[in-house]
Amino acid sequence: MRKGVLFAAISYTIWGLFPLYFKSLHSVPALEILLNRMLWSLVFLLGVLTWRKQWRWIGNAVRQPKLLAGFAGSALLLSANWFVYIWAINHDHVIDASLGYFITPLVNVLLGFVLLRERLRPGQWLAVALAAAGVAWLTWQAGHLPWIGLILAVTFGTYGLIRKTSQLGPLEGLSLETAMLFPFAFGYLAWLSLDGQNALITQTPDVKLLLLASGPITAIPLLLFAAGARRIPMTTLGLLQYIAPSLQLLLGVLLFSEPFDSHRLTGFLAIWAALLVYSVEGLWLSFSVEKQGV
């Protein structure tokens, strides 16, 4: 239990500090950062698979067209999520990105209702209504939808839904996804190299090292998260997940000095109230089930 909490907390803390990493790569286009992330993540994951001698799953996977189609979809969702997040960080939208991960749990509830025909409890309906009010307020104040947060929440929520029903574990699944993205990433980076625009050739040594480090920086928190999720209840995991967007919000306000006036705060307060209702309702339900079991 303690190890599980520690692993999950470390993974969410690393994700919460991601803006520091991507801000240091502001001189590299978002698409190129994404492609390097795909490429070097696969290299790192192949090293982990080799170390663990974990190759048997590949033969079974390639013989299942339905599984491959599902992972092709999840790979596209993952790449879209990564790209929007990187673009947002490097265009001074750290707070908008944090909003996406604050509302992701509530988007998951809505996806379960729409796609899986899950029945929502009154507390969940109240949480969704409060979050919708917060998003509506932010839209009215800004004059447009908070599209960065909504895209991040929908892509990551849908990605999680696909992976939830997958037959492969986190390590194998991410390896398959990055393998599917590899031809595009390698081909585009090769074309940039021929055109003399590849950051791995043109940038300073420190930027090159940061790009090469994108593999372990991407994979390590995912592996820690998987290890933690196996050891702790979902309610505990659900509460820990707010570490990442909270850190991102603090970085956006305190370190990067992004605007966060009273109008914006009001919208976030409505969303935080929704998350409080959602979390308390989930904890109460979990406590009631455990009490009945006793």
First-to-last alpha carbon distance for the chain, in angstroms, is 20
Q: Give the tokens for residue 86.
A: 């990187």
Q: Report the alpha-carbon distance of residue 79 to residue 178 in Å, rounded.
A: 9
For 213, residues 6+ apart whose C-beta sits below 8 A from its C-beta are 40
CB 54 within 8 A of CB 170: no
Give the other-Cβ count within 10 Å of 63's Cβ: 9
Helix, strand, coil percent content, the chain, rounded in steps of 5: 85, 0, 15
The H-assigned helical ranges of 91-167 are 94-115, 122-142, 147-164
Show pLDDT as tens, one digit a residue, over the chain (294 residues): 788 889 889 999 999 999 999 999 999 999 999 999 999 999 999 999 999 888 989 988 888 999 999 999 999 999 999 999 999 999 999 999 999 999 988 888 888 888 878 888 888 899 999 999 999 999 999 899 999 999 999 998 888 888 777 788 888 988 999 999 999 999 999 999 998 889 999 999 999 999 999 999 998 998 888 788 778 876 677 788 899 999 999 999 999 999 999 999 999 999 999 999 988 888 887 777 666 655
Cα–Cα distance list, 97 to 85, 141, 250 (Å)? 6, 17, 12
For 57, residues 6+ apart whose C-beta sits below 8 A from its C-beta are 168, 172
pLDDT at position 290: 62
Residue type at 235 in one-letter notation: T
pTM attached to this predicted model: 0.92
Place of tokens 């919460």: 16
Domain ranges of the chain: 2-293
pLDDT at position 47: 93
pLDDT at position 232: 80
Residue type at 100 in one-letter notation: G
pLDDT at position 151: 96
pLDDT at position 208: 94
